[in-house]
């Protein structure tokens, strides 16, 4: 590991020197590329330099213990050595995490799909609650959330709601939310106060760029129909709603949120491309390693990942056995504690996978 870190430090110093060159500074494209590389290496090099300092201090303390006859000095060296060894271990773990290659999709926008599962009307209400929760989380991160399509229930819930989340790192944070979310609470419709269990599924897909997914016109069939509007807007005015069938896979995407056919088609194509891109990602991950099935973000959207228990005010993420008694805050979009823990567990899994067998 040290040899690799030395190489990265040398590379970092060369990049810094090039960025200071007036000729390079005048070339916007080249300077931007170097700045990106500099930013990617900065944290690794900072931790590595501190790690080197700590190793030197450990060697110095060990030398005192080995060579000195002064018992008071030796006791100070022992105390210092205990502290330094703890810091060294912490730094080494952090460096190993930073050396794990980032998911290239993490910086992308994302398609968020929520669907009511088992539980009747209560499942639809829970789907709407999840959508509001993610909406508040987007507000906290200053991401833009734009509804693509939705199918409402009579009781104010959603059978299905699909949205585009636009913002730096949206997919990298939200990707851990894919799976089945379960709720345990007394529904408003329950007259005898019995606790019901309902579920909704969440799918988080990275938005595919034009260069990543090319869909020939011959592979799709586009139909138009009258928009009904999940909130009553644009009802029965024009045939502005769009339904796209992808012939090779049978995937169907609809969009009726805009008044314009062109805008609805553009939104529907975003969703279709994201779904096709996600299918390709799953194929690649399965080909890379069967171990990925056991990872934090397995991609298996039939797997129960989290339970929201309202009577006890707790939320439990089953993938990492984490329980928080902060359900109200979580439902208000305070998801960072959950996502941070999932991210760390995911990094640990990826570190194990990258180790030589």
Please give the order of strands across the beta sheet that includes 304-309. Answer: 144-152, 158-166, 110-116, 196-206, 179-185, 304-309, 314-317, 322-324
For range 14-26, the mean pLDDT: 92
Provide the Cα torsion 265, 140, 321, 130; round to 10°: -50
Regarding predicted confidence, which is higher, 263 or 357?
263
Hunting for tokens 């491309």 — which residue is that? Answer: 273
Determine the Cα–Cα distance for residues 321 and 338; give it in Å rounded to an integer: 11
How many Cα atoms sit within 13 Å of 311 on the Cβ side? 9
Of 322, 326, 312, residue with least CA distance to 344: 322
Instruction: Give the tokens for residue 32.
Output: 């931007």
Count of helices and strands (H, E) across the chain: 9, 11
Looking at the domain covering 110-210+290-354, what would its CATH class be?
alpha beta
Domain ranges of the chain: 2-99, 110-210+290-354, 217-282
- Residue-wise pLDDT tens digits, 170-228: 999 999 999 999 999 998 767 677 899 999 999 999 888 765 788 888 998 998 887 66
If you average pLDDT over every residue of the chain, what do you get? 86
Model pLDDT for residues 69-83, shown as the tens digit of each residue: 899 999 999 999 999
Query: 73 near 30, Cβ under 8 Å?
Result: no
Return the pLDDT at 50.
95
If one compares 308 and 220, the residue with the highest pLDDT of the two is 308
Statement: residue 290 has pLDDT above 50: no
The architecture (CATH level 2) of 217-282 comes to: 2-Layer Sandwich (3.30)
236: pLDDT strictly greater than 50: no
DSSP string, 261-317: HHHHHHHHHHHHHHHHHHHHHHHHHHHH-GGGGGSSS---TTSEEEEEETTTTEEEE
CA distance 143 to 167: 5
pLDDT of res. 292: 39
For residue 85, the surrounding DSSP H or E stretch is helix 71-99
How open is the CA angle 91-2-288, to the nearest 5 degrees?
Answer: 85
CATH dotted code for 2-99? 1.20.58
């Amino acid at each position: 590991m040290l040899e690799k870190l030395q190489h990265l430090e040398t590379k970092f110093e060369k990049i810094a020197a090039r960025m200071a060159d007036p000729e390079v500074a005048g070339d916007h494209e080249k300077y931007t590329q170097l700045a990106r590389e500099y930013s990617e290496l900065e944290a690794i090099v900072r931790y590595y330099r501190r790690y080197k300092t700590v190793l030197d201090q450990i060697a110095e303390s060990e030398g005192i213990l080995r060579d000195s006859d002064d018992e008071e000095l030796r006791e100070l060296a022992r105390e210092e050595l205990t502290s330094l060894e703890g810091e060294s271990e912490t730094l080494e773990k952090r460096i190993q995490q930073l050396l794990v290659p980032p998911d290239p999709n993490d910086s992308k926008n994302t398609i968020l799909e929520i669907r009511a599962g088992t539980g009747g009307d209560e499942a639809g209400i829970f789907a709407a609650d999840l959508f509001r929760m993610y909406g508040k989380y987007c507000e906290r991160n200053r991401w833009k959330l734009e509804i693509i399509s939705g199918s409402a229930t009579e009781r104010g819930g959603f059978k299905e709601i699909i949205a585009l989340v636009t913002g730096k790192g949206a997919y990298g944070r939200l990707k851990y939310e894919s799976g089945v979310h379960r709720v345990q609470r007394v529904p408003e419709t329950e007259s005898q106060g019995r606790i019901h269990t309902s579920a909704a599924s969440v799918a988080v897909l990275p938005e595919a760029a034009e260069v990543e997914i090319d869909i020939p016109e011959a592979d799709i069939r586009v139909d138009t129909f009258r928009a009904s509007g999940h909130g009553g807007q644009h009802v029965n005015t024009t045939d502005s709603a769009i339904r796209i069938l992808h012939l090779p896979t049978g995937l169907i995407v609809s969009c009726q949120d805009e008044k314009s056919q062109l805008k609805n088609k553009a939104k529907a194509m975003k969703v279709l491309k994201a779904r096709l891109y996600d299918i390709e990602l799953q194929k690649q991950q399965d080909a890379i390693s069967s171990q990925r099935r056991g990872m934090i973000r397995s991609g298996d959207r039939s797997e129960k990942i989290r339970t929201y228990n309202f009577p006890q005010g707790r939320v439990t993420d089953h993938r990492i056995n984490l329980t928080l008694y902060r359900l109200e805050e979580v439902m208000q979009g305070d998801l960072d504690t959950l996502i941070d823990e999932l991210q760390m567990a995911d990094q640990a899994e990826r570190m194990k996978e990258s180790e030589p067998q």
